Amino acid sequence: MEVKTQIKKIKKNSAKKQLDNWKNKLIDFSRRNQLLYFKPRASLSVEIFESSAEIFRKLVFESKGLSFKHQIEEFQSFDLPGDEEEPPPGFLPGEAAPGDDLGLDSFALSEEAGDSSSALQTNKDEKSLSRSLSNLRTRSKASLNEQGVNILYLALNFLDWYDSASPGTGDGTAKSPLLLLPVSLDRKGLSGAYRLNLIDDEIRINPTLSYKLLRDYGIDFNKIEAIQEGFETIETVEDFEELSKEITTLIQGHDSKTKDWKVVDEASLSLFSFAKLSLYKDLEQNEGRILQHPVVRQIAGEMLEESELYPKGFSARNLIVAEEMDKKIDALGLNQVLDADSSQQEAIEAAKAGQSFVIQGPPGTGKSQTISNIIAEALAQGKKVLFVSEKKAALDVVS
């Protein structure tokens, strides 16, 4: 009786609370999110001192690989009394000679970088630039290898805005990247110069910012044709500059809260991750269907009746256990591609019966082989299989 009483006390909205908790863990809307509240990080971002339109032209229109210019450290010198340098011929004392203007040599082309017209001016000295590019390359390659997701982007144009819709975000001021270009950092050998290349992926408006502005302020970037068409209508530098003006007009003309927001011409190379945004949207848009699913409700902590767990006319007693395999399973009717012991066969038969379950076990106990056999049996039954994994390595093992 006590157990039944405890089951009855479980609130029906426990799945809803758990779903909200999952959503909050997927997307961080706090000031830690670089896509909403961008702050340059010393070793994981490189600011670029060039117009966004020019960078877009070189990377997208001309498909150039770009190198980097490091900033030369400036040293302060002191002249001793009576030790003034003689002026160059034809110049009076104190008159500046050609090349003496401030900033003429404030940047230097990275070693082996090549044509200076293809080099991006940065805000770092040589050592800091090399360290930052190395960190960015290492992190981005790790993400690609482990999860198959690119996180290295060149951000063009930033939105300076005030987030009045989110309490607890400091003074509310924010700087967010607008346009994200997917890029890679390549290097020849250990001492070669880094080169920045556009990769074959989607150029996109900042999806996290776009979602937040639509949800909290009603600003829809898809009203702009170039964004709606996936930037395919951007064919010239003028088109790019016009896009910036359209974004500014859309934002500032929305209402009194956004009239002072500004689009600023800045560029930064950094790591941005928004792969989980699609999961967040999926949970939000399909909340009703998700909350009705028995598996989701169980994971959320609800106790279900057997009638809710199994198809009509099916019972847990119908599941074949390991001890019954030799009696109830015809080995000639199996469609497995790898060997399986009795415990693995038990999981395979449960999957063939349409049951949902979790397989747990330490490395080397045959989980991947079991998954491969389950997929093989499902294909033999004429079914389609979607195999999902957070880690790319798991996909490679099974495939």
Domains of the chain by residue range: 1-26+278-309, 28-72+103-275, 317-398
DSSP bridge pairs for 48 = 122, 267
What is the token pair recorded at 155? 């951000």
Q: What is the per-residue pLDDT for 118?
A: 83
Q: What is the pLDDT of residue 110?
A: 47
Is the model's pLDDT at 8 over the cut of 60? no
Tens digits of residue pLDDT in 162-194 = 988 776 556 778 999 999 999 999 988 777 889
CA 24 vs. chain centroid, Å, equals 16
Its pTM stands at 0.74
Report pLDDT digits (tens) over 349-382.
888 887 888 888 888 888 899 999 999 999 998 9
Residue 30, CB-side half-sphere exposure with 13 Å CA sphere: 6
Q: Note the pLDDT of residue 246.
A: 94
Res 96 pLDDT > 90: no
Closest CA to 217 of 285, 159, 283, 163: 163
12-26, 133-147, 222-236, 315-329: least confident range? 315-329
Assess whether pLDDT exceeds 90 at residue 197. yes
Task: Look at residue 267 and tell me whether its pLDDT is greater than 60.
Answer: yes
